Amino acid sequence: MKEDQQRPLHLHNHQRNKLSITKLFTNGTAYVILVLLSYTLGYLSHSSSSSPQQQQQLQLHQFTPPPSVFQLANLPTQLDNFRVTAHCSNSPLPPHLVFPTVLDRVFNGSSPYTNFPQPYLESMLKRKRIKGWGSFGAVFEHLIKRVKPRVIIEVGTFLGASALHMVNVTRELRLQTQILCLDDFRGWPGFRDRFKDIKMINGDVLLLQQFMQNVVYFNATESVLPVPFSTGSGLEKFCEWGITADLIEIDAGHDFISAWGDINRAYRILRPGGVIFGHDYFTAADNRGVRRAVNLFAQMNNLKIQTDGQHWVIDTALATRI
C-alpha cells in the first residue's frame, strides 16, 4: 500500500490509459474483425462447395464466342424469327385474270388511265420524264428471253424506267406480257432536292401521275398497271388474291430490313420455275443491306445466286441446290 502510494503519479496515469485502450480494442475492433472473418469464411465455403458442373458452365459462359447469324438461322426456334408469314390463296389465278383482278380490287373495276390526265394536271406533268438506276441493263433481255413471262411484277418502280424498258423487250419478242408495278409512289424524304421538276399538290407529290403519263406516252396502258401501295402490303395482298408471276424484280428499299421483307414476300408468289432478281448487288447501295439480305435468303432456302451486271438473279428452274 505504501509502495503504491510511493509510485510516481505519471505511472498511474499511464496504466489507466493502457487499460482504457485495451477495453476499447476488445469491445469494438474485435467485433468488426470477427464479422469480417465470418463473411470471408462463408464466401470461401460457398465457392468451394460449387459443383464441377456449375464451374464448367461458368467457364463456358465466359469463353464461348457469340454464334454467327447463320448458326442462329439454323436453330428451329430462331428460324421462325426470319420467316415472313401471310395467308395465301390455294388457287393461283391464271395469267389472263391478273389484270382484271387488280382492276376490280384496287380501282373499283375501271382503268386508272381512263380520262387521264385530268385538265388540272396537264400543266403540272411533263410529256415524258424517265429516270431510273440500272434500268437498261442486259439482264432484262436475258431473263425475258429465257423465261418468256406472261406476268411480271416489279417491286419498286419510281418513274417506270425499267418497266417501260421491259415493255419494249417483250414487244420485240412478240410476247403477251402484263406488268404490275408495285410502289407507294411517294419517293423518299428529300428526293425532290434532286427532282425539283416533280410537282407537289397539298403535300402530295405527283410521282404516280408522272409515272402514268410516261406509260401513256409509250402507249403501254394495256401492258403496265400501277399498284399504288407499300411493297409489304401489296405483296401480301397479291398472295392472298392468288396473283403469281413468272418474273419478279426487286428494286425498292435498299436497307436490309426492306430488302429482306420484299424478297421473302415476293418469293412466295413466284411461279414454280420462275425467276426473282434485283438491282444493287454490286453498287454502293449494297452496303446498306441488299447483298446481305440476298445472301441470307439464298442460304436459308438452299438456292444459288447468279449475277448479271449489277443485278443478282435466283432462277428456280436452273439454280443448283447447295
The region of weakest confidence among 1-5, 47-51, 182-186, 282-286 is 1-5
Looking at residue 153, what is its pLDDT?
Answer: 98
Mean pLDDT, to the nearest integer, of 102-125? 94
Helix 256-268 and helix 231-241: axis angle, to 10°?
10
The answer, yes or no, to whether residue 291 has pLDDT greater than 60, is yes
Separation of alpha carbons 187 and 227, rounded Å: 15
Decide which of 110 and 194 is more confident: 110
The region of weakest confidence among 55-69, 91-105, 192-206, 256-270 is 55-69
Decide which of 20 and 34 is more confident: 34
The answer, yes or no, to whether residue 16 has pLDDT greater than 80, is no
SS3 letters across the chain? CHHHHHCCHHHHHHHHHHHHHHHHHHHHHHHHHHHHHHHHHHHHHHHHHCCHHHHHHHHHHHHCCCCCHHHHHCCHHHHHHHCCCCCCCCCCCCHHHHHHHHHHHHHCCCCCCCCCCCHHHHCCCCCCCCCCCCCCCHHHHHHHHHHCCCEEEEECCCCCHHHHHHHHHHHHCCCCCEEEEECCCCCCCCHHHCCCCCCEECCEECHHHHHHHHHHHCCCCCCEEEECCCHHHHHHHHHHHCCCEEEEEECCCCEHHHHHHHHHHHHHCEEEEEEEEECCCCCHHHHHEHHHHHHHHHHHCCCCCEEECCEEEEECCCCCCC
